[in-house]
Amino acid sequence: MLSKALVVGAYQRKLEELARCGEIELTCVVPPSWRGAGGVERLERAHTAGYRLLVRPIRFNGQFHLFHWLGLDEVFAAVRPDIVHVDEEPYNLATALALRLAERHGARALFFTWQNLYRRYPPPFSWWEHAAYRRAAWALAGNCEAVAVLRRKGYRGPASVIPQFGVDPAVFRPRPRQPRAEFVVGYAGRLVPEKGLLLLLEAVQALAPPWRLELVGSGPLAAGVQARATALGIADRVRLRPPVPSTDMPAVIAGWDTLALPSLTRPNWKEQFGRILIEAMACGVPCVGSTCGEIPHVLGDAGLVVPEGDAAALAAALARLQVDAALREELAARGRTRVLARYTQRRVAEQTYAVYRRLMAAA
Task: Give Dmax (Cα) for the chain.
Answer: 65
- Distance of alpha carbon 257 from alpha carbon 328, whole angstroms: 8
Residue-wise burial string across 12-48, b where 16 or more C-beta atoms lie within 10 A, e elsewhere: bbbbbbbbbbeebebbbbbbebbbeeeeebebbeebe
267 within a domain of the structure (yes/no): yes
Residues 6+ apart with CB under 8 A from 164: 5, 87, 112, 114, 140, 142, 273, 348
Residues 226 and 324 in one domain: yes
Give the pTM: 0.93
Residue 187 has pLDDT above 90, yes or no: yes
Residue 213 has pLDDT above 90, yes or no: yes
Average pLDDT in the 336-355 region?
Answer: 98
Residues 94 and 152 in one domain: yes
Q: 154, 129 in Cβ contact below 8 A?
A: no
Reference 147, options 158, 132, 136; nearest CA is 158
Residue 38 has pLDDT above 80, yes or no: no
- pLDDT-derived band at 185 (thresholds 50, 70, 90) equals very high
Residues 101 and 232 in one domain: no
Which CATH number does the domain housing residue 114 bear?
3.40.50.11930
Q: How many domains does the chain have?
A: 2
Which CATH number does the domain housing residue 286 bear?
3.40.50.2000
173 within a domain of the structure (yes/no): no
CA quadruple 29, 132, 114, 107: dihedral, nearest 10: -40
Instruction: Tell me which H or E stretch contains 78.
Output: helix 72-79
Residues 217 and 291 in one domain: yes
- Tell the burial category of 362 from Cβ atoms under 10 Å away from its Cβ (0-12, 13-18, 19+): exposed
Residues 356 and 277 in one domain: no
Residues 156 and 300 in one domain: no
50 within a domain of the structure (yes/no): yes
- Distance of alpha carbon 262 from alpha carbon 306, whole angstroms: 8
Domain residues for the domain of 157 are 5-166+344-362
The per-residue pLDDT for range 109-160, each reduced to its tens digit, is 999 999 999 999 999 999 999 999 999 999 999 999 999 999 999 999 999 9
DSSP 115-127: --S--PPPTTHHH
Residue 362 has pLDDT above 80, yes or no: yes
174 within a domain of the structure (yes/no): no
172 within a domain of the structure (yes/no): no
Q: 172, 279 in Cβ contact below 8 A?
A: yes
The CA–CA distances, whole Å, from 182 to 120, 179, 200, 222, 256 equal 48, 9, 17, 24, 10
Edge-to-edge strands, sheet with 303-306: 238-241, 211-216, 183-188, 258-261, 287-290, 303-306
- Tell the burial category of 178 from Cβ atoms under 10 Å away from its Cβ (0-12, 13-18, 19+): exposed
Residues 201 and 262 in one domain: yes
Residues 103 and 224 in one domain: no
Residues 206 and 230 in one domain: yes
Residues 31 and 87 in one domain: yes
The CA–CA distances, whole Å, from 101 to 32, 81, 315 equal 21, 11, 53
Residues 243 and 214 in one domain: yes
Residue 314 has pLDDT above 90, yes or no: yes
Bridge partners of residue 85, in order along the sequence: 110
Neighbour count for residue 354 (Cβ, 10 Å)? 14
Can you give the pLDDT at residue 284? Answer: 97
Residues 214 and 326 in one domain: yes
The per-residue pLDDT for range 227-279, each reduced to its tens digit, is 999 999 999 999 999 998 888 999 999 999 999 999 999 999 999 999 999 99
